[in-house]
Amino acid sequence: MKRGKFIGGLIGCLVWAWTSAAGAGAAMDAKPASRASVLVCGGSMMNGSHFADSVLEVMREHYAGCRRVALVLHASHPSERAAMEKRLQAAFVHLLGAGVVAESVHHRDAAGAKTLLAEADGIFVGGGETFVLLAEMYRLGQLDVIRERVRAGVPFGGSSAGANVAGPVIGATNDFPTAEVPSTKALGIFPAVINPHYPLAESKAEFESRVYKIRTYLKFNPEESVCAMGNAAVLRLHEGRVTVRAGRVALYRASGVRELKVGEVVGELGR
């Protein structure tokens, strides 16, 4: 082989090896890290000032040992965040005992909020307006710090809008685009797109229009999976496996839909 050709071939091989490794890295990033503990709820998980009885057990298991939980409440209107924080503070004390502090990041500036997220031993993201929530997370630079914490094993919980942002994108939210977002890409710490407040089949018109919307979404995004989650339904990613822990969940994929059972490990969403 001529010297020029040999060097060209060698460079080609090196470029191929580098791009393959980079590609493999990107693909691995799309999968949840095995230390990640992520709980998503289809919404309406509170009963007054504590978590609903049906989710208490899994919430207690998920946040076991946490003493300081950072709350991300951007999805609610600024005028409602203090009251929401108070309710969640009471709910976490009811869940984990006296001495637990649940503190909202909204009292702090951007740097202070990141410090709280970096120091807390649990993270909870509340519901409300999904686009406002994600826009604020981008504006305040909170996506990366939350991802890092989750990768390090800090338990993350999100309800409704808070569950939407755990997925790779917020594509199946029920919300209007109330705020401008730089991208619909979200945390990507849970391996499916979430559709919260999935209605009961008995509410015929609402149910049929929701099914139509999810199917249409998948027609345009056939590589994605959508978890349609009823109120107070819970999925938990732990040790690389997603388990249905409460309520009604349907897994929609381009190939069809499957109703999931409480207690089942969702093979389609595993490693």
* Contact between 246 and 55 (Cβ < 8 Å): yes
Count residues near ligand ASP (CB under 6 A): 13
77 is catalytic: no
- Compute the distance between CA of residue 238 and CA of residue 58 in angstroms, rounded to an integer: 11
94 is catalytic: no
What is the residue whose two structure tokens read 């390090």? 152
Q: Is 168 in the site for ligand ASP (CB under 6 A)?
A: no
* Contact between 252 and 268 (Cβ < 8 Å): no
209 is catalytic: no
- Compute the distance between CA of residue 168 and CA of residue 68 in angstroms, rounded to an integer: 26
Shortest approach of ligand ASP to residue 166 CB, angstroms? 12
What is the residue whose two structure tokens read 């071939």? 9
The residue from 197, 203, 209, 255 that is catalytic is 197
Shortest approach of ligand ASP to residue 20 CB, angstroms? 37
Single out the residue of 120, 161, 165, 269 in contact with ligand ASP (rule: CB under 6 A).
161
Q: 37 or 173, CB closer to ligand ASP?
A: 173
Shortest approach of ligand ASP to residue 152 CB, angstroms? 26
Gyration radius (Cα) of the chain, Å? 20
- Find the distance separating the first CA and the last CA of the chain, reported in whole Å: 44
The residue from 104, 175, 225, 238 that is catalytic is 175
Which of positions 54-113 make contact with ligand ASP (CB under 6 A)? 75
DSSP label of 265: B
Q: Is 174 in the site for ligand ASP (CB under 6 A)?
A: yes
What is the residue whose two structure tokens read 């969640």? 88
Q: Is 231 in the site for ligand ASP (CB under 6 A)?
A: no
Which of positions 120-159 make contact with ligand ASP (CB under 6 A)? 127-128, 130
Q: Which of 222, 248, 270 has its CA nearest to residue 41?
A: 248
Q: Is 42 in the site for ligand ASP (CB under 6 A)?
A: no
Q: Is 197 in the site for ligand ASP (CB under 6 A)?
A: yes
* Contact between 189 and 144 (Cβ < 8 Å): no
Shortest approach of ligand ASP to residue 163 CB, angstroms? 8
The residue from 44, 159, 160, 225 that is catalytic is 160
Q: What tokens were used for 83?
A: 């009251």
Strand order in the sheet with 249-253: 193-195, 226-229, 249-253, 256-260
Q: 75 or 260, CB closer to ligand ASP?
A: 75
- Compute the distance between CA of residue 168 and CA of residue 191 in angstroms, rounded to an integer: 7
What is the binding site for ligand ASP (CB under 6 A)? 43, 75, 127-128, 130, 160-161, 164, 173-175, 196-197
Positions annotated as catalytic residues are: 160, 175, 197
